[in-house]
Structure 1
Amino acid sequence: MSASGTRFPADENSAPDLAILREAPQRAGKRNSFEDVPLIAEVVPVSTARKDYDDCTAEYGRYGIPVYLVVDPYAAEAVVHTQPTGTGYTAAHTYKYGAGKLPIELADGRAFTLGLDELPRSEPESGAR
Structure 2
Amino acid sequence: MSVDSITDTLFPKGYTVLFGVDGKEVVTPRSEEHSSTIRSMQIDSLALGRHAKVTSDIYIDFPADENSAPDLAILREDARKKGKRYSFEDVLLISEVVSTSSARKDYDDCTATYGRYGIPIYLVVDPYAGEVVLHTEPTANGYSTALKRAYGTGKLPIPLADGRTFTLDLDELPRPEPETEAH
TM-score normalised over the length of structure 2: 0.65
Q: Structure 1: give runs of 5+ residues left out of the alignment.
A: none
Residue 125 of structure 1, CA deviation: 7.5
Q: Structure 2: give runs of 5+ residues left out of the alignment.
A: 1-54
Q: Which stretch shifts more, 73-82 or 117-126?
A: 117-126
Cα displacement string for residues 4-58 of structure 1 (whole angstroms, at most 9, x for unaligned residues) = 2421112444111001000111321111110110100000001010000000000
Kindly indicate whether residue 168 of structure 2 is the aligned counterpart of residue 118 of structure 1: no
Q: 1:56 aligns with which of 110, 114, 120?
A: 110
Q: 1:27 aligns with which of 68, 73, 81?
A: 81
Residues matched between the structures, number? 126
Residue 70 of structure 1, CA deviation: 0.3
Query: Structure 1 residues 119, 20: closer, same or farther in 2, change over 3 A?
Result: same
What is the rounded CA distance, in whole Å, between the counterparts of 1:125 and 1:90 in structure 2? 37
Identity %: 71
- Equivalent residue letter for 1:84: P
Residue 123 of structure 1, CA deviation: 5.6
Which protein has the larger Cα radius of gyration, Structure 1 or Structure 2? Answer: 2
For residue 58 of structure 2, give the secondary structure of its aligned residue in structure 1. helix
Question: Which 4+ runs in 1 deviate beyond 4 A?
Answer: 123-126
Corresponding position of 1:70:
124
Q: 1:41 aligns with which of 88, 95, 98?
A: 95
Q: 1:5·1:30 contact (CA, 8 Å) conserved in 2?
A: no
Q: Which stretch shifts more, 46-55 or 13-22?
A: 13-22
Query: Structure 1 residues 74, 123: closer, same or farther in 2, change over 3 A?
Result: farther
What is the rounded CA distance, in whole Å, between the counterparts of 1:102 and 1:11 in structure 2? 34
Query: Structure 1 residues 77, 2: closer, same or farther in 2, change over 3 A?
Result: closer
